[in-house]
Amino acid sequence: MSSQAQNHEFQEWWNKQRGFLDKPDSTAFLTVEIRNPTSDPTVDKGHTRSARQLSWLWLLKFQQLATSLAWLTNGSVSLLRTANRRIATNTTDSPSDSSASSRRLYRIIKLFLFLVILLLCFELVAYFKGWHFSPPSVESAEAAVERVYAKWLGIRASYLAPPLQSLTNVCIVLFLIQSVDRVVLMLGCFWIKFWKLRPVAAVEYDGSESVEDYPMVLVQIPMCNEREVYQQSIAACCVQDWPKERMLIQVLDDSDELDAQLLIKAEVQKWQQRGVHILYRHRLIRTGYKAGNLKSAMSCDYVKDYEFVAIFDADFQPGPDFLKKTIPHFKGKDDLALVQTRWAFVNKDENLLTRLQNINLSFHFEVEQQVNGVFINFFGFNGTAGVWRIKALEECGGWLERTTVEDMDIAVRAHLCGWKFIYLNDVKCLCELPESYEAYKKQQHRWHSGPMQLFRLCFVDTLRAKVSFGKKANLIFLFFLLRKLILPFYSFTLFCIILPLSMFLPEAELPAWVVCYIPGLMSILNILPAPRSFPFIVPYLLFENTMSVTKFNAMISGLFQLGSSYEWVVTKKLGRSSEADLVAFAERESDPLVETTNLHRSCSESGLDVLNKIETTKKTGKKKRNSLYRKELALALILLTASVRSLLSAQGIHFYFLLFQGISFLVVGLDLIGEQDRCIIVAVISTPEVIESNPRVVDVTGTL
């Protein structure tokens, strides 16, 4: 009875509404007639609604709309506040950005920005005058502005568009060549996976051998002010499953901070007391950066007693069986100079920046290094997590201080001397990714300026080397030109210069497949070695284009030997791998390497652990000062201005690409990427289950 009454109430209300709509003076309204499919009023009672129910329904929809608007408003306000805080606490750009070459590039970008803003104003006037739809001619023009616009149309069609179109075609060809290279590398990787190709060692060490059967191995750990990570690297090397009398560890400390020197020296003494053969070396004259440090260590008289040298940077943690998995590959291969292993990252899921880095480096190790190692026995040494035959180092001239990429330098010279390399994709060495954009930018500047320095220095030596023509062509064209020079050149020129200009010079056409489809396909190929990162494919594509300005500037600096090309800044580490990071620890809890390393660190009998935590807290407790990156901000304004112009001409794909790429540049320019969400970590580690299963978590929560 209740539902029947509600039904009559709704019917009476609806009849009144229909009566209002059926009046002659309401013909402007749309009359809608709703018929009940059955005459039985008792049928489908559950689907009828009263006026009160409709009111609540509309109120709920209004509330949802208000919530969405409030969320967007809060997000916008938060972004503006963050940007304002970045501007208020602005510091100067990194040293590489304050160099002469960087200032010149910034001035060019500013001039370009002024030009596109001026052109946009001109185009807006033309749009509202209707000249886009019926372009005026000089003869038919009446007003002065109309004549100027008509002359501008002739100038851009006859003089500006043709050279821009030629440059566009050149960049498209380079883009296609580089894309073909990526496809070939992926096919090579699939071939390796399908046929299960992998290097096989001639012998294996199972513990039944005598001590004399183990080669003499020198382990080197170069570091400089690495107070956050020195403990874990020293501990990981000291617990190697290798006869102690057949191994010597050199801690090569280039620190210029006295407290860091004392901490590292005390850590070395602690392991010496446990019977480990380990030495502490500190240079008084710190020349040549890392290359000078390694060169000085190799000049010691006792080095001649050792056959191999393993190198680990301060944030790397080799597994206890690292030497047992790498040294056997040298057996019976007298022409083998290097065994390189893969990097694994303990903080790859820390923030968006580390996730994007993981995509790039996964492709580098899984595809580039593995394919080059299997098919041509040559690849660039990664500077760490590798074992060298000391004889090969000496024969090719040893470590040289002429570039900031001493690892690539020694690899190229060894390759030209006829030595071969092996890459082990299944042997991983834990390390840490830079978590701030400032540290990552400095690292990328060194990684892209150094190869161009080296190319200038070794080009003639490559032509004169007594190796096959194929090896020379691979080294010059693929290794240096295509992957080190052409890639940053076309990436910056095509997507940051040509694309915005083509919006204002529509006679120069940039096809949509160059803007969207080919980059999308290449991003999918790059992300295949890290399939868990597929949700980040769009941010990856945008961020790679955003980094092109840094890589282009570094490439130009190295190619023309400008001042910033010789800059060496130690990449800042936060000690994720040494502070029992909980997310990484949960994933790696069953790994014997981590258990053994943490066991040795936790059973320290000295007060060094406490002292180190205090010193680390002092370093990391400082308030972070953010930088404004001028070139990125200027390019953001250029791309957003061009997106407005593309909107006027209704270019869909170009508009969306320019809009999102401009936002990406804006986020990076305001230093809004790479921030760590400490609240999430605290929420994870504060659960009773995690604390109960990992008692050491209590110390970490205290530091947070």
Q: Give catalytic residues, as residue numbers.
A: 254, 407
Contact 585, 593 (CB under 8 A): no
Residue 283 near residue 296, CB atoms below 8 Å: yes
- Looking only at Cα atoms, what is the longest distance across the chain? 110
C-alpha 599 chain-centroid distance: 32
- Whether residue 313 contacts residue 228, with contact meaning beta carbons closer than 8 Å, is answered with no
Q: How far apart are CA 619 and CA 315, in angstroms?
A: 17
Q: How many residues does the chain have?
A: 704
Using CA atoms, how far apart are residues 70 and 519, in angstroms rounded to an integer?
Answer: 35
Distances (CA, A) of 619 to 94, 327, 573: 19, 38, 11
Helix axes 518-527, 161-195, angle to 10 degrees: 30
How many CB atoms neighbour CB 61 within 10 A?
Answer: 10
Give which of 449, 451, 442 is closest to 411, Cα–Cα.
451
Residue 510 falls in which region: left (phi positive, over 0), alpha (psi -120 to 50) or beta:
beta
Closest to 661 in 3D by CA, of 516, 507, 474, 486? 516
Contact yes or no for 479/408 (Cβ under 8 A): no
Which helix (H) or strand (E) is 507 found in, with range?
Answer: none
Rounded to whole angstroms, the Cα distance separating 573 from 50 reads 64
Q: Are 319 and 595 in contact (CB under 8 A)?
A: no
Dist. CA 425–CA 379, nearest whole Å: 13
Which residues is 217 bridged to in the sheet? 247, 308
With H, G, I as helix, E, B as strand and everything else as coil, classify residue 487.
Answer: helix
| Structure letter (DSSP) for residue 387 | E
Q: Which two tokens stand for residue 4?
A: 């029947």
Element (H, E) at 418: none
Q: By C-alpha distance, which of 381, 439, 433, 442 is closest to 229? A: 433
Which amino acid, one-letter code, is at 45?
A: K
End-to-end CA distance of the chain: 63
Token output for 551: 């890589």
Which residues sit opposite 386 in a β-bridge? 311, 340
For residue 219, the cross-strand partners are 249, 310
Residue ranges in 493-576 assigned as alpha helix (H): 499-504, 512, 518-527, 537-546, 548-559
* Interatomic CA distance for residues 465 and 413, integer angstroms: 10
Q: Which residues pair with 428 in a beta bridge?
A: 342
Distance separating alpha carbons of residues 26 and 20, to the nearest angstrom: 7
With residues binned 3-state (H G I as helix, E B as strand, rest as coil), the percentages for the chain, rounded to 5, are 65, 5, 30
